[in-house]
């Protein structure tokens, strides 16, 4: 997930996680965020499974794609 590192502008970064996303489903994303001190905030997202708070980038995870 190098995209997150490229977008990190300040000392603090937040990644939104859709509340409909099953907790623990993407342990690799959760581990990456913990290692890189990226705060994950669960909230309902209109688009995608993960997004940045500014709404400019959204990520939708699909099985078998």
- Give helix then strand counts, H and E, for the chain: 2, 4
> Can you give the pTM of this predicted structure?
0.72
**What are the start-end ranges of the H helices in the chain?**
2-7, 27-35
Provide mean pLDDT across the span 10-34. Answer: 83
Kindly state the average pLDDT of the residues 26-41: 89
Q: Which residues pair with 18 in a beta bridge?
A: 43
pLDDT tops 70 at residue 29:
yes
| Mean of pLDDT values over 32-43 | 90
pLDDT tens digit sequence for 41-64: 999 999 999 999 988 899 888 776
């Amino acid at each position: 997930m190098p995209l997150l590192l490229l977008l990190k502008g300040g000392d603090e970064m937040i990644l939104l996680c859709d509340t409909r996303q099953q907790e623990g489903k993407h342990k690799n994303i959760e581990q990456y965020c913990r290692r890189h001190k990226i705060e994950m905030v669960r909230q309902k997202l209109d688009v995608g499974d993960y997004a940045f708070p500014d709404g400019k980038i959204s990520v939708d995870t699909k099985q078998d794609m």
